[in-house]
């Protein structure tokens, strides 16, 4: 019996010795497989927290484009962040050395620590203090919200974008020594729900154009607003802190590029609101369905009068007997006839001169000025805003004149043009059913053009 046991042990020893290397290999392979599984499991568990330990640094011009979500109703806000920041700051030639960061907020994190920790020591702490002092609401960031920010040379925080929830973004832009807040809201409740709309709410800091650009408003929409309202107000005389709201619609072209269109806008300055809305015909009108962007009436009087002397740059002057330009049109009007402004604008001259007598000059925009001469009484003062049809004077016979008349001039780009033939003059407003439809659209959009 003993010999059988000994024999069995020897056989088992020889077998194990022979297969030793195979067993070792299998054992090591099992260890490797277990380690790989552990690493894979760890990565999967942390997939939704990939930004919790590191912000995504996007160097200079490496940006995504706008994308529309599958339901076609709202935009991917992360893409919006990149677009907003790219449009204004990253192609500003004076700000070439910039870094942009995207970060998803983790549990119990605060803004100051996020900006300092994940900006690669590239931000001045005083910048964060200034921002939080101006906008304490930024202390309320929550888990899962997305932050994007830009840092320029000298550790300056140029812009911070805060994705509050899927339908609202807040943008904080540096303007000189402080920050301004803008709000961006997404909706599909307007424009018959056919395409998403975006509302931009901002404050003036710098020029209107720069303030609008800093929110990411497209250039074509900004130009629509300035071209439409330049006859109602002087954009050079807006005040810092003036509020504006701009509503646009967004559509995707066949080549997947994004096309924006102005739906409506509101600008408040000196306590007065100015509005512009787009009608179904594509043109821009005010709240009363009067077309914006170049409304003029043909004559500076409430009713037409006989032309006593026409526009002629080579006319023989009846007073001096010499050839000299007659840069306007003379109307044979009785003394005391009301003289009206042919368009909206600002009075730049209301005074007396030896040749023109009492006269008024009105600037309607950066291109067009009108002049009214030989007046009996001036009813406006320099700097005063006037609207189309407002009384500005009473006609007379002052200055160098051969009899009672009104001399009227139009200057475009510093050159006189014939008031009776220039194509600048027009007056257009919606009528009938078209007007009713438009006013209903305005009524629907007005509540959306808010400032909060």
Segment 283-304 shows an average pLDDT of 85
Q: What share of the chain is helix, strand, coil (3-state, %, to 5)?
A: 30, 35, 40
Per-residue pLDDT of 397-425, as tens digits, reads: 999 998 999 999 999 989 999 998 886 65
Q: Which domains can be identified in the chain, with CATH numbers? A: 47-177 (3.10.450.350), 188-295+428-452 (3.10.450.350), 307-417 (2.70.70.10)
Residue of 216, 225, 226, 265 whose CA lies nearest to 243: 265
Q: Is the pLDDT of residue 390 over 70?
A: yes
Residue of 55, 184, 200 whose CA lies nearest to 114: 55
> Given CA atoms 373, 375, 381, 387 in this order, what sign does their dihedral have?
negative
Mean pLDDT check: name the lowest of 74-78, 204-208, 230-234. 74-78
Share of the chain above pLDDT 70, in %: 72
Please indicate whether residue 47 or residue 21 has the higher confidence score (pLDDT).
21
Residue burial 362-382, b: 16+ Cβ < 10 Å; e: rest: bbbbeebbbbbbbbbebbbee
Per-residue pLDDT of 436-452, as tens digits, reads: 999 999 999 999 898 87
Return the pLDDT at 290: 86
Instruction: List the structure tokens of 201.
Output: 């709410």
Please indicate whether residue 326 or residue 81 has the higher confidence score (pLDDT).
326
Share of the chain above pLDDT 90, in %: 34
Q: Does residue 396 contact residue 390 with C-beta atoms inside 8 Å?
A: no
Return the pLDDT at 256: 60
Return the pLDDT at 50: 45
**Helix residue spans in 99-218 (DSSP H):** 111-117, 125-134, 208-214
Residue of 184, 175, 225 whose CA lies nearest to 205: 175
Return the pLDDT at 11: 58
Run of H or E residues at 224:
helix 219-229
CA 123 to CA 130: how far, in whole Å?
A: 13
Most confident of 15-24, 107-116, 230-239, 310-319: 107-116
Per DSSP, 309 falls in state: E
Please indicate whether residue 163 or residue 12 has the higher confidence score (pLDDT).
163
Please indicate whether residue 219 or residue 242 has the higher confidence score (pLDDT).
242
Per-residue pLDDT of 24-73, as tens digits, reads: 555 666 776 767 666 665 555 444 444 434 555 544 333 322 233 333 33
Return the pLDDT at 301: 93
Radius of gyration of the chain (CA): 35
Q: Does residue 126 contact residue 132 with C-beta atoms inside 8 Å?
A: no
Segment 285-296 shows an average pLDDT of 83
CA 27 to CA 283: how far, in whole Å?
A: 79
Q: Does residue 300 contact residue 406 with C-beta atoms inside 8 Å?
A: yes
Return the pLDDT at 64: 29
Segment 161-177 shows an average pLDDT of 83
Return the pLDDT at 213: 86
Name residue, tokens 């001169």.
353
For the chain, give the mean pLDDT. 79
Segment 285-292 shows an average pLDDT of 88
Q: Is 206 left (phi over 0), alpha (psi -120 to 50) or beta?
A: left
CA 362 to CA 368: how far, in whole Å?
A: 9
Q: Is the pLDDT of residue 17 over 80?
A: no
Name the band, by pLDDT with cuts 50, 70 and 90, for residue 344. Answer: confident
């Amino acid at each position: 019996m003993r010999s059988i046991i000994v024999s069995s042990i020897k056989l088992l020893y020889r077998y194990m010795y022979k297969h030793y290397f195979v067993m070792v290999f299998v054992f090591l392979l099992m260890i490797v497989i277990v380690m790989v599984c552990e690493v894979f499991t760890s990565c999967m568990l942390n997939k939704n927290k990939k930004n919790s330990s590191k912000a995504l640094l996007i160097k200079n011009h490496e940006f995504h484009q706008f994308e529309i979500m599958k339901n076609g109703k709202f935009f991917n806000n992360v893409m919006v962040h990149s677009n907003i920041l790219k449009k204004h700051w990253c192609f500003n030639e004076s700000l070439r050395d910039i870094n942009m960061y995207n970060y998803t907020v983790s549990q119990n994190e605060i803004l100051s620590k996020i900006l300092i920790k994940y900006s690669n020591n590239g931000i001045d702490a005083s910048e964060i203090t200034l921002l939080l002092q101006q906008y304490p609401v930024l202390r309320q960031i929550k888990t899962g919200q997305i932050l994007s920010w830009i840092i320029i040379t000298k550790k300056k925080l140029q812009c911070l974008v805060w994705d509050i929830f899927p339908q609202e973004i807040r943008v904080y832009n540096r303007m000189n020594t402080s920050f301004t807040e803008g709000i961006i809201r997404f909706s599909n409740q307007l424009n018959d729900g056919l395409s998403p709309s975006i509302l931009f709410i901002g404050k003036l800091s710098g020029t209107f154009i720069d303030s609008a650009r800093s929110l990411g408003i497209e250039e074509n929409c900004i130009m629509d607003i300035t071209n439409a309202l330049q006859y109602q107000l002087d954009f050079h005389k807006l005040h810092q802190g003036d509020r504006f709201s701009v509503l646009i619609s967004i559509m995707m072209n066949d080549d997947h590029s994004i096309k924006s269109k102005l739906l409506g806008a509101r600008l408040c300055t000196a306590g007065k609101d100015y509005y512009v809305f787009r009608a179904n015909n594509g043109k821009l009108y005010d709240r009363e369905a009067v077309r914006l962007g170049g409304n003029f009436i043909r004559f500076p009087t409430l009713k037409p009068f006989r032309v006593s002397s026409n526009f002629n740059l080579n006319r023989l002057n009846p007073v001096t007997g010499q050839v000299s330009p007659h840069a306007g049109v003379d109307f044979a009007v009785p003394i005391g006839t009301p003289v009206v402004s042919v368009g909206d604008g600002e009075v730049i001259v209301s005074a007396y001169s030896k040749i023109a007598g009492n006269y008024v000059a009105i600037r309607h925009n950066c291109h067009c000025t009108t002049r009214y001469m030989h007046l009996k009484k001036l009813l406006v003062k320099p700097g005063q805003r006037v609207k189309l049809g407002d009384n500005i004077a009473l006609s007379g016979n002052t200055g160098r004149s051969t009899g009672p008349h009104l001399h009227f001039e139009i200057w475009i780009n510093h050159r006189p043009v014939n008031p009776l033939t220039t194509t600048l003059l027009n007056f257009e407003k919606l009528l009938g059913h078209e007007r009713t439809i438009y006013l209903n659209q305005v009524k629907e959009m007005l509540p959306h053009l808010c400032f909060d």
